[in-house]
Structure 1
Amino acid sequence: MLLDRAAQVGDTVFVCLPTTATVMDGKTRGYLRPGLCPGGFGPLIKTIIAVGGQQVDVASGVSVDGRVIPSSRPLARDGRGRPLRPYEGGVVPARSIFLHSAFSGSWDSRYFGPIPEEGILGLASEVLTFAP
């Protein structure tokens, strides 16, 4: 992890995902652009909504320690009609983070679950936001 402090809920980060089976399936489906992260894909920019020790549940939306996260309903299918399987939920492991984006089509921890915080490359700062 390249931060000079512990990752915190609310941080927006550049992150390389681990090369898990779910992440590699996302690469095959085209959810990840080519890049220099391990696995050959580029980093993502996402917001941390949970850290190690917090309970995450994914149903009709994501909740963290019982608090519902706005704009977090997982989709049943991607833009090409392929089924999506949401993360089953649970306690975020120590030194791990749960990532989210309010964009409904975002591929984030709703689907691939928590990831190790050592994938964090640094903090991101919002300059301009465009919502299609």
Structure 2
Amino acid sequence: MSRERVISAVIATCTCLMAVAAGGWIGGYRLNLTPSEPLGLWRIEPLMRVAAVGDLVFDCPPASAEFAVALERGYLRRGLCPGGVAPLIKTVVALPGQHVEVGSDVVIDRLPLPNSAIRPSDGAGRPLHHFGGGIVPSGHLFLHSDFASSYDSRYFGPVPETGLLGLARPVLTFDP
């Protein structure tokens, strides 16, 4: 095959891949490569109501120094949310006005949250600082994942509702 044909084939393949990726992004499709939720293809479904406890959602965390450190440490992936991070897939576990206590695990309105043990350090031995607890402020959500090593509101606290992209719906996923 001539050099020109190879170059043309590579350009055509790259163009097709970019078109598929752009169509997927515009269509609300996202690829999850983190263990917080099953791996695979997910879709963002518009949330046509107020968020509720139990909703599995996509959320863009706010751009902050804390999330910049989380990205640097590898807790978050790169993406198109503010601060250059990918959206999180988490479950809403507390709403504005609810009381969250964080000790060795999480307690919401005096009820223990299953699978919420607090880790003192990450997998590399670096200290993890956890949220101090308190009332979830107006306009914020407390997010959680059952995955033991998940970076969620146990560590960064409530996040603004303005980062909520929609419900997270699995399309083609698997648990390794």
* Structure 1 length-normalised TM: 0.93
In structure 1, the residue matched to 2:133 is 89
Specify the code of the residue in structure 2 equivalent to 1:48. V
Q: Deviations over 1:77-126 (max 9, x none)?
A: 00100000110000000111000001000000000000001101010124
The answer as to 2:142 corresponding to 1:98 is yes
Distance 2:135 2:101 in 1: 9
Distance 2:59 2:163 in 1: 5
The one of 156, 161, 166 equivalent to 1:122 is 166
- Runs of at least 4 residues off by over 6 Å: none
In structure 2, runs of 5+ residues without a counterpart are 1-45
The answer as to 2:36 corresponding to 1:36 is no
Q: Percent identity?
A: 53
Q: Deviations over 1:10-59 (max 9, x none)?
A: 00000100012221211121111110001001001000000100000111
Distance 1:19 1:62 in 2: 25
SS state of the match for residue 48, structure 1? strand
- The two structures, once aligned, show a CA RMSD in angstroms of 1.3
Relative to total residues, which structure has the larger helix share, 1 or 2?
Answer: 2
Tell which structure's C-alpha radius of gyration is larger.
2
* Structure 2 length-normalised TM: 0.71
Specify the code of the residue in structure 1 equivalent to 2:83. G
Number of aligned residues: 130
The one of 59, 77, 84 equivalent to 2:121 is 77
Specify the code of the residue in structure 1 equivalent to 2:99. Q
More deviation in 76-85 or 27-36? 27-36
